[in-house]
Chain A
């Protein structure tokens, strides 16, 4: 029996490019200062303490540069993925115009660990200020170099549930073998 396709990979903003990442790109803040490296891994085990699960389709070593809204909870703050605020943010993502990619961040089956929204082109970048997940936790708008982030099809809708609690939304199918 073949293994079911993986629906998630790891993502972390780290100080330096890891040797073992499957994709990585330099990151800069709005002022142009270095903000580290955005790295993604396909491996099963957590590659770094700050790594979180994201939709595997985000990982693309050939992906062009992008501007992202990276939402992360403050240190020590924990919010259930099923919290009404997180549900409403997912609805707003589905209702709004598309971005090149959106995925929630997970560390376990129960908690919301933030989200990353990928924008390319002036119109999408301008709309990052309306990132629905930024209503929950503060967002950092960052530029990410080439070689890390792909483009996801817009979620079909109207499903806001995860396809299994280990899978970041909007991964859109169960992993039956």
Chain B
């Protein structure tokens, strides 16, 4: 039975090696912050490269905004590390070359019978991994814009930060 990945559901606590080969859990990586969780086909896909440029545009704001990004693919750690370095990403990449999480999540892109990759998808998560929004990126225009991600991060931050309203005197 496929995992429910619709808004309001809890995203499974993945355990996968990161780009350096160290096993990481999603709950550890998310800490107490909002998260943008992205699955992507692989470094070789021009649509993924274009979407990474969008995430990179957001990275400089996220580094001061107390929010996190995690990217997941079937690329093994050395390949993920090289792609990460090549695009200039400063967030964690998770590797699922055995496709264990891909299978459990039901996110295999069935139209690619060569690479058997993740279908492109984006989820914005609360710190308890509750899904705030889910975006199906099979068609490129299904992916969130920077403005949509900022809106999601604002909504989540407003919900989880007890001091969202600035303390004033």
Contacts and interface: CB of A to CB of B under 8 A. Distances in A.
Given A91-B90, A156-B29, A159-B68, 18 more contacts: A95-B90, A97-B81, A98-B22, A153-B22, A153-B28, A156-B68, A156-B70, A156-B92, A157-B68, A157-B90, A158-B59, A158-B68, A159-B64, A159-B67, A161-B64, A161-B66, A173-B33, A176-B162
A101 to B, nearest CB: 12
Using C-beta atoms within 8 Å of the partner chain, give the interface range for chain A: 10 to 19
Interface of A: 91, 94-95, 97-98, 153-154, 156-161, 163, 172-174, 176
B166 to A, nearest CB: 16
B10 interface: no
Chain A binding surface SS class:
loop
19 contacts: A91-B63, A91-B90, A97-B81, A98-B22, A154-B22, A156-B29, A156-B91, A157-B91, A158-B62, A158-B68, A158-B69, A158-B90, A159-B33, A159-B62, A159-B64, A159-B67, A159-B68, A173-B31, A173-B32
B99 interface: no
B114 interface: no
B85 interface: yes
User: What 6 pairs between A and B have smallest CB-CB spacing?
Assistant: A94-B90, A157-B91, A173-B32, A158-B90, A98-B20, A158-B63
B24 interface: yes
B64 A160 contact: yes
Contact of B31 (A94, A98, A156): A156
A157 B92 contact: yes
Contacts of B85: 95
Most buried by B among A95, A153, A157: A157
A154 B18 contact: yes
A6 to B, nearest CB: 16
